[in-house]
Amino acid sequence: MDIKGPGLDTMLGMDASNVEIAILTENLRSMSTISEEVTTGMSKLSTTNKAAIRHIGPLMNTLRELKIKQGNLHAVESKVAEIKEYAKNIRQLDELLDADLLDAGITGVKQFIETLRKLRAIGSDMKQQGLGGYKALNRQLVEGMLSGDTLLKSDVLKRVSQLNGKDTKNIEEIRVEYEYLTRERDIDIDEQIMRERIGLLKRKMGSCAISTPKVNNDQNYIYDGGNSESFPVYIDKIKGMLSNELYFAELLGSYVNKYVSVVSFEIIGILNGIINFVEKRRTSYNTMYYELCDGANRFVGWLFEQHLVVDQTLQQLAAKCERDALNTFGEFFQYIRSKYEEMVVNVNSHETLNNTFMLISTRINNFSRLRDYQLQYISQITINEWLPVNLPNGFVAEKERSSDPLFLLGTFYSDAIEYSFYLLADKYRGKKADEEVGVILLFNLDGLQTLLEGKSLLKQILGQRGMDRYEKLKKKAMDRAVMQWSTLTARIMQASTLSGSNLSMSQKDLVKFIEEFNITFQELQTTFQRMDIPPYFRKQLVQDITKTLVPSYKIFHAYAGQTGGRSVAKHLTLTPSQLADELSKM
């Protein structure tokens, strides 16, 4: 140790203990200084530690965040792979949707729908996996699903518009698409389907719609059916269309009455149009009510059978048509009377075939062509209900009662013929001789005869009973045509009355009677030969005259010759055989 210095002497002069104390004191002082330095250092260290402790918390948090971020990074790396897989699947499914699967039949439709289900499943899965925030991917997914729904909806409507009849193939495809859209996607397309089908129905109805007939201006015309575009034919077409439509609508669970309402509205419009046409031309076209009633009742009845709503207006129109159809029978007799009321009798004319009678006979024949309809409607009325209150002289209404349609219709036509016959006779009553009237009646019956030959429909309707009534009319006409011959025969028979074994009249009266007979016979013979009589009836009349006159004359001739002797016999210019020969010449 360097002991040099100012305190060396002092130190040297001290004893050892003092030296030790001094050294100790110095050491203590040095130690105090070091302690202070240590204390100061520790104080500083303490302050530093507090600051470190203050900053350690955020640091630990940062470390924890780093660890979390590091974990998320690993999760994101995992999700990236999933997202890539989702994107790949979405792209593949989108490509499938663009592959015209809908044109591949029911298999393609089901595959298309299954593709849409997979897209929806991907969307749900992405949400569950927390990937809903990937906007581009989700947008692609949503657009794919919406595009698919739109395509599917469009395909349903396209198939619906093309559906024709009970097409089970298309129906199955439509049903699968319809169920998916309505049940799984909650898309309401009923109204669109119905609009599409109703529009198609209207177009089809328009293509087969009927119009009012072309007006026949012939005043004597009567509509006798046979129209290929009749109202019943139209209704059958509509029923077929609607039946297919109901089949289709029921498969989809739609409300079929909407279809029925549209169709009923169209039918009512057409029906009203034809009714208005008929009402303006009732005389010629009232028989159209048979067809209108038939068509309307067919449709209404079918709706009831199908348990569908029936339009009240349509029911009312059907009831009106039925009433008017029943009225045609009475109106026919009104027409006959009106024609005879219009008829003008020319006393000086030598007409044989009467235009009015033949016109009515032709109308009767044409009217009979509607037999099937008439059998249907006449069963709803009682016998003779068609007859007018005032009947012509000689007409006798049928007394037998029956509800058999064949009997009723046969009676109706027999009545019509007989009614016309007696009205014609009444028109000439007191204006022409009975023989002339009889010949006129025969002529007209002969004209009617041509309508009753062979397998005539009118003849079938009349039946045996009606033909018997017709034969009685001919007999009445023939009796009237030979009335003077009948009178001559009656006088011969009266002159043949015996008193004992001789004729009751005197010889003078007998000669006078014979001369009158000869003159009358020649006059009647000449008149008959000049008369224009139909060959069939002329032959029949001659036979009838011969059948009664010759036997009566033969008896008279025998008794006259016996009673009067030669003075009477010379006046008998004709023998019975000669009389017969003269008659045969007629």
Residue-wise pLDDT tens digits, 480-495: 988 999 999 999 888 8
* Residue scoring higher pLDDT (535 or 236): 236
pLDDT at residue 304 tops 90 = yes
**Residue 18, pLDDT above cutoff 50:** no
Residues paired with 498 in a beta bridge: 503
Q: What is the pLDDT of residue 15?
A: 43
What integer pLDDT is reported at residue 7 of this predicted model? 43
- Residue (of 496, 487, 478, 470) closest to 542 by Cα position: 478
Angle at 436 between CA 433 and CA 441, to 5 degrees: 125
| pLDDT, position 310 | 93
Q: Regarding predicted confidence, which is higher, 172 or 419?
A: 419
Q: What is the pTM of this model?
A: 0.70
At residue 6, the pLDDT reads 45
What is the C-alpha to C-alpha distance for residues 403 and 380, in angstroms, rounded to an integer? 9
pLDDT score at 24: 57
Torsional sign, CA 309, 314, 320, 322: negative
Give the residue, 47 or 555, on which the prediction is more confident: 555
Alpha-carbon distances of 528 from 374, 439, 459, 531, rounded to whole Å: 43, 10, 31, 5
Q: pLDDT higher for 186 or 327?
A: 327
What pLDDT does 76 receive? Answer: 52
pLDDT greater at residue 86 or residue 148: 148
pLDDT beyond 60 at 204: yes
User: Which of the pair, 260 or 422, is modelled with greater confidence?
Assistant: 422
Query: Is residue 397's pLDDT more than 90?
Result: yes
Q: How far is CA 30 from CA 7, 18, 39, 555, in A?
A: 17, 17, 14, 208
Architecture of domain 484-585: Up-down Bundle (1.20)
Q: Which DSSP helix (H) or strand (E) runs through 427?
A: helix 405-428
pLDDT at residue 538 in the model: 87
pLDDT of amino acid 211? 81
Please, what is the average pLDDT of the chain?
A: 81
Give the residue from 192, 203, 206, 209 showing the smallest Cα distance to 164: 203
Which pLDDT band holds residue 5 (cuts at 50, 70, 90)? very low
Q: How confident is the model at residue 83 (pLDDT cuts 50, 70, 90)?
A: low
Compare 478 and 50 and report the one with higher pLDDT: 478
Predicted local confidence at residue 16, as pLDDT: 41
Q: What is the DSSP letter of 132?
A: T
- C-beta of residue 290 within 8 angstroms of C-beta of residue 377: yes
Query: How many other C-beta atoms are found inside a 10 Å radius of the C-beta of residue 558?
Result: 12
Q: Which uninterrupted H or E stretch holds 498?
A: strand 498-499
Domain ranges of the chain: 47-187, 201-321, 331-482, 484-585
pLDDT at 278: 95
Determine contact, residues 252/277, Cβ cutoff 8 Å.
no
Of the candidate ranges 2-6, 111-115, 320-324, the one whose mean pLDDT is the lowest: 2-6
Q: What is the pLDDT of residue 218?
A: 85
